[in-house]
Amino acid sequence: MTVSPALFLLPGVLFFAVYVIIPIIQSFYISAFEWNGLGELSEQGEYVGLRNYQELFTDRAFEVSLWNNVKWLVLYLLAIPAGLFIALFLNQTVAGIRIYKSLFFFPFVLSQVVVGLVFSWFYLPREGLLNAIISFFGFEPVNILGDPTLATYGIIAAGLWPQTAYCMILYLTGLNAVDPEQVEAGRLDRAKGWRMLWYVILPQLRPATFIAFVVTIIGALRSFDMISVMTNGGPFGSTRVLSFYMFEKALSEYGFRMGYGSAIAVVLFLIMLVFILYFLWTMVQDERASRN
Amino acid sequence: MSKILTASVVTAAMVAGGASADGLSGTLRIISDMSNPTPRAVITQLAEDFDAMHPDLTVELEVIDREGWKSQIRNALSANPPDVVNWYAANRMAPYVNAGLFMDISDMYANGDLPGLDAVKGALTIDGKQWGVPYSYYQWGIYYREDIFNELGLSEPATFDEEIANCEKIIASGRKCYSIGSKFLWTAGGWFDYLNMRTNGFDFHMQLARGEVPWTDDRVRATFANWRKLIDMGAYIDDHQSYNWQDALPFVVNGEATAYLIGNFAVPHLRSAGMTDAQLDFYQFPQIGDYPMGEDAPTDTFHIPSGAENVEAAKAFLQFVTSAEVQTAINGPEGLGQLPINANSQVAQDEFIVQGFDMLSNNATGGIAQFFDRDFPAEMAALGMEGLQEFMVFPDNLEDILNRLESSRQRIY
């Protein structure tokens, strides 16, 4: 009786251990070494203790990357209200509504790399559509991706486009599950507009909001591909985030510092851990509530 | 192309005394980064010909994207390594040499297996040993619009003052002097290489690359001061930090910028965009200080990984690639369109190749550098080029940039 659940769990546990748990432990271990990734760690690596972490604290590029991660996390959350708004707007029965819905959902189907490319063309300093529009209204042209103070925001805006679509689809599904009787009851009590949304609809959308929050946070922390395509971390490193910086230091063309890269990965992991623990805690709470 | 190669291969085979009889067998695995259309055709043909020359040998060729290879090479060398790989000369190969992943082939140079390579041997030497063979190199210099120079009554400058005087006239005509795309940083490295080699001499530049001089040295500042003259007069195109090097080509083609400091690999692109040899010309980066001219001439190479299984065949392949006939063929106008590395091979009759060859043979007495990101250690190169790009956009940040690079230098070397 006790053996069969363990057996069923075994393949999953095994793969999870090999591909997730053990690499995490290895990252912690490697981060205590200075190693260029060539040859064996035990032979070529030099044990340096916490020196990589000490260096992180004085590394301005790391500081910039960390702040950019914060910007991504905060601004990416805008996808949730934007997605909700579009979902509410599209949640009606008009002829051809399915077409409109799929058009709004379209950006999410595109690869991040394609979105990044399209937006980098949109932002081009001379030929870009954006500058065509703003110069039509008589403003000076801007080079968003070439300006270290604006570039990160430019990439986040590009990222919000598919992310909003994702949140929208989550909310559209959620809206299908909204209990019409409760809405009816709310109507009888003369609730409408914002009050109806806030007190009747939104509480019922709580599961959708939770999922939207989870995928948006994860999306913000995985912003690697867009940065790589749109600015390659530039101009002069101003758009790096931790994952990109880790790649640059450990794995890229000029990156030969596995230990330092691992130290960055560990910091990123600790940031993610905060969210992961929160998600797990919420899910366990929900599970308990539904059992009682 | 293929006919030329085959013909030369036959000669090479005859010269080598019937190479097919030397009993090479098994499989020769080559991983190449020659992924652009023309280089791909060259390496494919080389592999086929080598295969045909040795009936008992099977040549397996895998071509990997040139950019991708820069980060994939380390995996390829550690796990199940092939017999021959492409890479770059000088400090760029140092990590692999130091980790023992490239094979020491000093014996090939010592016992006369590689005739005609004495001049380029230095770029493949680390710790007094040779770790690979070159197969092609190319000059850097200023490619400019001859027709616009004629229209403005300008001539090729020989000194920096003339360069600036020219540039003033170009700007007055509503154009920019130089196109550049610095998104991927290395193009800015080319400018620094030349300005530093001209301001302080080749030897100083190499001392800086080896980490023997602080970045905050007054001589380095003098280099940046010269650079700043160009930046402040508006010599460079705007927004170059958003373009890659190909994006910057149309500025030259459209005549919005008159010149481009770049390697000879840009010429085929300019020609296919419609530039004729009457519109396009080349001059050596002008003199600044009283130093013999140093030049950037990056060398592309073949290496044998130390884990190679068919070493005998790999060595024969390196011999084959570097032989005078094959060098003439693969660097010819229908091949790579670059400079052959074998002293006994012929240089193609091409306006730019001839000028480049002449410049490197007769007026590069200061020395031949590989390029910023090949002469400086990898990490210093990455941080350095980022600083150079920042300087080009915000020259006022110079003090901060130099201090940052200096503290990195103290840590890295």
pLDDT-based confidence at residue A213 (cuts at 50, 70, 90): very high
Whether residue B400 lies within 8 A of chain A, CB to CB, comes out as no
The pLDDT value given to residue A98: 87
Contact call for B393 and A231, based on CB within 8 A:
no
Dihedral of the alpha carbons of B234, B239, B244, B246, in degrees to the nearest 10: -60
- Cα angle value A29/A17/A245 (rounded, 5°): 45
Query: At residue B114, does pLDDT exceed 50?
Result: yes
The pLDDT value given to residue B400: 95
The pLDDT value given to residue B214: 96
CB neighbours of B138 closer than 8 A, spacing ≥ 6?
B263, B264, B265, B297, B298, B338, B339, B356
From the list B78, B239, B386, the residue facing A143 with the nearest CB is: B239
Structure tokens at A117: 């490319």
Within 8 A of B239 by CB-CB distance, chain A residues are 125-126, 143, 146
CA of B100: which chain A residue's CA is closest? A39
Residues A16 and A37 reside in one and the same domain? no
Residues A176 and A135 reside in one and the same domain? yes
pLDDT-based confidence at residue A101 (cuts at 50, 70, 90): confident
The pLDDT value given to residue A92: 82
Within 8 A of A146 by CB-CB distance, chain B residues are 239, 241-242, 393
Within 8 A of A237 by CB-CB distance, chain B residues are 386
The pLDDT value given to residue B24: 85
CA of B377: which chain A residue's CA is closest? A254
CA distance A172 to A174: 5
Whether residue B66 lies within 8 A of chain A, CB to CB, comes out as no
Contact call for A236 and B393, based on CB within 8 A:
yes
Whether residue B387 lies within 8 A of chain A, CB to CB, comes out as yes
Compute the nearest-CA separation of B240 from chain A (Å): 8
Within 8 A of B387 by CB-CB distance, chain A residues are 236
SS (H, E, C) B103-140: CCCHHHHHCCCCCCCHHHHHHHEECCEECCEEEEECCE
B2-136+299-345 homologous superfamily = Periplasmic binding protein-like II (3.40.190.10)
pLDDT-based confidence at residue B384 (cuts at 50, 70, 90): very high
Extract long-range pairs of A268-275: CB within 8 Å, 24+ residues apart: A268/A69, A268/A221, A268/A242, A268/A243, A269/A24, A269/A27, A271/A69, A271/A221, A271/A242, A272/A221, A275/A217, A275/A221
User: If phi over 0 gives left and psi between -120 and 50 gives alpha, with beta otherwise, what is residue A59?
Assistant: beta
Q: What percent of chain B has pLDDT over 70?
A: 95
Within 8 A of B94 by CB-CB distance, chain A residues are none
Enumerate the β-bridge partners of residue B102. B305
Whether residue A151 contacts residue A223, with contact meaning beta carbons closer than 8 Å, is answered with no
The pLDDT value given to residue B51: 93
pLDDT-based confidence at residue B343 (cuts at 50, 70, 90): confident
Enumerate the β-bridge partners of residue B178. B236, B259
| Of A64, A42, A62, A44, the residue nearest B95 (C-alpha) | A44
From the list A55, A125, A253, the residue facing B242 with the nearest CB is: A125
CA distance B17 to A49: 59
CA distance A53 to B97: 28
The pLDDT value given to residue A28: 95
The pLDDT value given to residue B17: 42
Compute the nearest-CA separation of A132 from chain B (Å): 16
Give the pairing type, strands B294-296 and B176-179.
unpaired
Report pLDDT digits (tens) over B357-382.
Answer: 999 988 888 888 999 999 999 889 99
Q: What percent of chain A has pLDDT over 70?
A: 100
Dihedral of the alpha carbons of A269, A275, A281, A286, in degrees to the nearest 10: -140
Q: Rg of the Cα trace of chain B? A: 22
Query: At residue B251, does pLDDT exceed 90?
Result: yes
For the residues B257-261, what does the mean pLDDT come to? Answer: 96
CA of A45: which chain B residue's CA is closest? B99
Whether residue A282 lies within 8 A of chain B, CB to CB, comes out as no
pLDDT-based confidence at residue A256 (cuts at 50, 70, 90): confident
CA of A44: which chain B residue's CA is closest? B99
Select from B72, B239, B371 the residue whose CB has the most chain A CBs within 10 Å, as the one to mutate to test that interface. Answer: B239
Contact call for B184 and A248, based on CB within 8 A:
no
Contact call for B242 and A236, based on CB within 8 A:
no
Q: At what angle do helices A151-176 and A97-109 cross, to 10 degrees?
A: 140
Residues A52 and A17 reside in one and the same domain? no
Compute the nearest-CA separation of A51 from chain B (Å): 12
For the residues A176-182, what does the mean pLDDT come to? Answer: 87
CA distance A46 to A32: 9
Q: Is A79 exposed, middle or buried (0-12, 13-18, 19+ CB in 10 A)?
A: buried
Give the pairing type, strands B257-263 and B140-145.
antiparallel
The pLDDT value given to residue B74: 86
The pLDDT value given to residue A87: 93
Q: What is the mean pLDDT of chain A?
A: 91
Residues A179 and A272 reside in one and the same domain? yes
Select from A42, A253, A258 the residue whose CB has the most chain B CBs within 10 Å, as the one to mutate to test that interface. Answer: A253
For the residues B220-247, what does the mean pLDDT come to? Answer: 95
Q: What is the mean pLDDT of chain B?
A: 90
Give the pairing type, strands B367-369 and B294-296.
parallel
From the list A55, A60, A256, the residue facing B378 with the nearest CB is: A256
Q: How many CB pairs under 8 A join A and B?
A: 74
CA distance A228 to B128: 39
Contact call for A146 and B239, based on CB within 8 A:
yes
Whether residue B70 lies within 8 A of chain A, CB to CB, comes out as yes
Sorted by where each begins, the domain ranges of chain B are 2-136+299-345, 140-296+357-412
The pLDDT value given to residue A1: 64
Report pLDDT digits (tens) over A39-92.
Answer: 788 888 889 999 999 999 989 999 999 999 999 999 999 999 999 999 999 988
Terminal Cα-to-Cα distance of chain B (whole angstroms):
45
Whether residue A282 contacts residue A276, with contact meaning beta carbons closer than 8 Å, is answered with no
| Of B272, B270, B244, B243, the residue nearest B259 (C-alpha) | B270
From the list B71, B78, B98, the residue facing A253 with the nearest CB is: B71
CA distance A82 to A159: 13
From the list B98, B239, B379, the residue facing A254 with the nearest CB is: B379
Contact call for B379 and A36, based on CB within 8 A:
no
A268 or B20: which leads in pLDDT: A268
Within 8 A of A37 by CB-CB distance, chain B residues are 74
Compute the nearest-CA separation of B352 from chain A (Å): 30
Enumerate the β-bridge partners of residue B31. B62, B85
Enumerate the β-bridge partners of residue B261. B142
Query: At residue B79, does pLDDT exceed 90?
Result: no
| Of A7, A72, A16, the residue nearest A239 (C-alpha) | A72
CB neighbours of A185 closer than 8 A, spacing ≥ 6?
none
Report pLDDT digits (tens) over A59-73.
Answer: 999 999 999 999 999
From the list B241, B373, B404, the residue facing A146 with the nearest CB is: B241
DSSP assigned state of A145: G
Contact call for A38 and B78, based on CB within 8 A:
yes
Query: At residue B225, does pLDDT exceed 90?
Result: yes
Within 8 A of A149 by CB-CB distance, chain B residues are none
Structure tokens at B95: 């990590």
Query: At residue B22, does pLDDT exceed 70?
Result: no
Query: At residue A210, does pLDDT exceed 50?
Result: yes
Q: Where are the alpha helices (DSSP H) in B233-345?
A: 249-253, 266-272, 311-322, 324-330
The pLDDT value given to residue B168: 96
Contact call for A39 and B99, based on CB within 8 A:
yes
Report pLDDT digits (tens) over A115-134.
Answer: 999 999 999 988 889 999 99
The pLDDT value given to residue B5: 52
Residue in the structure block whose two tokens are 């002469």: B375
DSSP assignment string, B142-207: EEEEHHHHHHTT----SBHHHHHHHHHHHHHTT-EEEE---TTSHHHHHHHHHHHHHHH-HHHHHH
Q: The domain that contains A259 carries what CATH number?
A: 1.10.3720.10
Structural domain of residue A112, as residue ranges? 31-291
C-alpha pair distances (Å), B224 with each of A149, B194, B231, B321, B387: 24, 11, 10, 41, 12
Contact call for A232 and B183, based on CB within 8 A:
yes
H or E segment and range at residue B296: strand B294-296
The three-class DSSP label of residue B211 is coil
Contact call for A256 and B379, based on CB within 8 A:
yes
Select from A44, A64, A127, A236 the residue whose CB has the most chain B CBs within 10 Å, as the one to mutate to test that interface. Answer: A236
Q: Where does B140-296+357-412 sit in CATH, by number?
A: 3.40.190.10
Whether residue B160 contacts residue B222, with contact meaning beta carbons closer than 8 Å, is answered with no
Residues A7 and A54 reside in one and the same domain? no
Number of domains in chain A: 2
Q: Rg of the Cα trace of chain A? A: 23
For the residues A275-289, what does the mean pLDDT come to? Answer: 91
Interface of A with B in 194-253 (CB under 8 A): 231-232, 234-237, 248, 251-253
Within 8 A of B185 by CB-CB distance, chain A residues are 234
For the residues B118-130, what does the mean pLDDT come to? Answer: 88
CA distance B181 to B237: 9
Query: At residue B1, does pLDDT exceed 80?
Result: no
